[in-house]
Amino acid sequence: MSGRRLKFILYIVITDYYVVTNPLSESPAILPSIRSAIASTLAKMAEQRTIMFSGSPLNRLSWLRTSHSFLNAIVPSPKAHWLLFKSGNPLTVKTETKSSLSYLSTKDVAPFIGEAPYFGQGKTSGILAADEQISATEAVRHRGAPIVFLGLHETGSSGTGALPSSEFADAEKALEKIEGAPYFALDVTDLELEDEAIEAALKETEPAKSGSTLAWLDSRSVMMNTDLFNGAIFAEARSMCDWNSRNKFCAGCGARQHSMWGGWKLGCSTLMPWADNTGRKPCPSGKGLHNYTHPRSDPVVIMLAVDQSGEKILLGQNNRFKGKFYSALAGFIEPGETFEDAVKREIWEEAGVKVWDVQYHSGQPWPFPASLMCGFYARADSTKPVRTDLDNELADARWFSREEVMTVLKHATGSYLDLAKLAEASSQLSNDPNEPPFRVPPTTAIAGVLIKDWAEGKVQFPPFSLTPKGNL
């Protein structure tokens, strides 16, 4: 048995004893090493856990995004998988009972991606930009809807997806070494095509000709209709298509901007070698890094406060989902805050509760449109009052016992499954004795994972201390 594992078991024994016998006393001297053991164990748990939308199976090959030689060479791959979106909703194959993501071939998407070259486009249609080493034209796509290169699903065992960009001077030779399927995404909304033309083109695709029914699926229903592999690809694709689609003008100077780097950068049209900038001030995006030219992930803290006994958690009912739906509290991280600061501020603002001992649990990309949910537990004192009248974001917040939560988790409909229909369903809840007393999110959402892991006793804390730490 390793020293660390022994230390952790010792911690559990000591903590159980400590909490039972003296729950409100100060932390013992052993605390720093205990904290370290807990942090290490939680980190290991987070690594082993796979949460919907996380754990991407693709090698993103991000260092090759600037190479139009690479990107243009793999677009025609017979193994290419294209995930199409329309206004953020993915194309799916629909059956009577289920919808699953539909991947199209490069041949199928030809009407949507336009003519070659797809990346590194020059001033004139059909001509490559003269030199891909000029940063303004690196894998630029200023003609046609943005195409996002999601990555390569490697099927070979040789790891040849790790090719250096220099090898793509001879793209065809380099491609021979790549084993696997490239994945791309594209949103058809901004194409100069009428809806009828889009639908007609879809009817000519291989899946449609083989008898499949293709349909755009409400994006929030995807998590109920997919597995972890496809969920992770969808999350990356949706966030990236959305980001490209909603940033058509340069935040630095207001000029049109276009897609670059296989959809992973936006470039200002005033920076193109052929731009006529007479009378314009230089665009600030021409120098340095800018958070409006690179994709964004907006971090959100989502957390459960666990009380001094370890037997109660604080859950809130959002104003938008009134009824019997309770979930973890959450909020965006603000500039100038750490994760811990945001956890403390949000629980205070929404429920009037002060917390400490903030501990990371796991994360979940949330592509609606670009959030990164960061899951935490924190310690709090449930003998203190709860109040929701500070920011009035919650209709209710209260402490629930492990027994109450377990009753809901064991109930057939206790973890509500369809977030898209949540508001409607919650308002329809009645006093039917067959209904659960309240509902919590499913484990496809990180809030559901936090609740379930705590309820099943998988969460441990250092000994409870009455002295709040941190800035509240």
**Binding footprint of Zn ion on the chain (CB under 5 A):** 250, 252-253, 255, 268, 283, 285
Provide the angle, in degrees to the nearest 10, between the axes of the packed helices 446-455 and 402-410: 120
What pairs with residue 85 in β-bridges?
90, 187
Instruction: Give the nearer residue to Zn ion in terms of CB position, either 229 or 292.
Output: 292
Instruction: Give the nearer residue to Zn ion in terms of CB position, either 128 or 275.
Output: 275
Instruction: Give the nearer residue to Zn ion in terms of CB position, either 283 or 315.
Output: 283
Instruction: Give the nearer residue to Zn ion in terms of CB position, either 120 or 252.
Output: 252
Instruction: Give the nearer residue to Zn ion in terms of CB position, either 285 or 364.
Output: 285
CB of 281: closest distance to Zn ion in angstroms?
10
CB of 248: closest distance to Zn ion in angstroms?
12
Instruction: Give the nearer residue to Zn ion in terms of CB position, either 151 or 252.
Output: 252
CB of 285: closest distance to Zn ion in angstroms?
5
Q: 273-282: long-range contacts (C-beta < 8 A, 24 or more apart)?
A: 273/123, 273/130, 273/134, 273/136, 273/137, 274/123, 280/253, 280/255, 281/253
CB of 271: closest distance to Zn ion in angstroms?
7
SS (H, E, C) the chain: CCHHHHHHHHHHHHHHHHHHHCCCCCCCCCHHHHHHHHHHHHHHHHHHCCCCCCCCCCECCHHHCCCHHHHHHHCCCCCCEEEEEECCEEEEEECCCCEEECEECCCCCHHHHCCCCCCCECCCCCCECCCCCCHHHCCCECCCCCCEEEEEEECCCCCHHHCCHHHHHHHHHHHHCCCEEEEEEEEHHHCCCCHHHHHHHHHCCHHHHCCCEEEECCHHHHHHCCCHHHHHHHHHHHHHHHHHHCCCECCCCCCEEEEEHHHCEEEEHHHCCCCCCCCCCCCHHHCCCCCCCCCCCEEEEEEEEECCCCCEEEEEEEHHHCCCECECEEEECCCCCCHHHHHHHHHHHHHCCCEEEEEEEEEEEECCCCEEEEEEEEEECCCCCCCCCCCCCEEEEEEEEHHHHHHHHHCCCCECCCHHHHHHHHHCCCCCCCCCCCEECCCCCHHHHHHHHHHCCCCCCCCCCCCCCCCC
Instruction: Give the nearer residue to Zn ion in terms of CB position, either 287 or 467.
Output: 287
CB of 270: closest distance to Zn ion in angstroms?
5
Instruction: Give the nearer residue to Zn ion in terms of CB position, either 224 or 255.
Output: 255
Total residue count of the chain as it appears in this document: 472
CB of 250: closest distance to Zn ion in angstroms?
3
CB of 71: closest distance to Zn ion in angstroms?
24
CB of 244: closest distance to Zn ion in angstroms?
16
CB of 249: closest distance to Zn ion in angstroms?
8
CB of 129: closest distance to Zn ion in angstroms?
18
Instruction: Give the nearer residue to Zn ion in terms of CB position, either 219 or 269.
Output: 269
Instruction: Give the nearer residue to Zn ion in terms of CB position, either 152 or 268.
Output: 268
Instruction: Give the nearer residue to Zn ion in terms of CB position, either 268 or 353.
Output: 268
CB of 297: closest distance to Zn ion in angstroms?
23
CA separation for the pair 110, 223 (Å, rounded): 28
CB of 416: closest distance to Zn ion in angstroms?
45
Q: 155-159: long-range contacts (C-beta < 8 A, 24 or more apart)?
A: 155/179, 155/180, 155/181, 156/180
Instruction: Give the nearer residue to Zn ion in terms of CB position, either 21 or 291.
Output: 291
Give me the amino acid identity at 412.
Answer: A
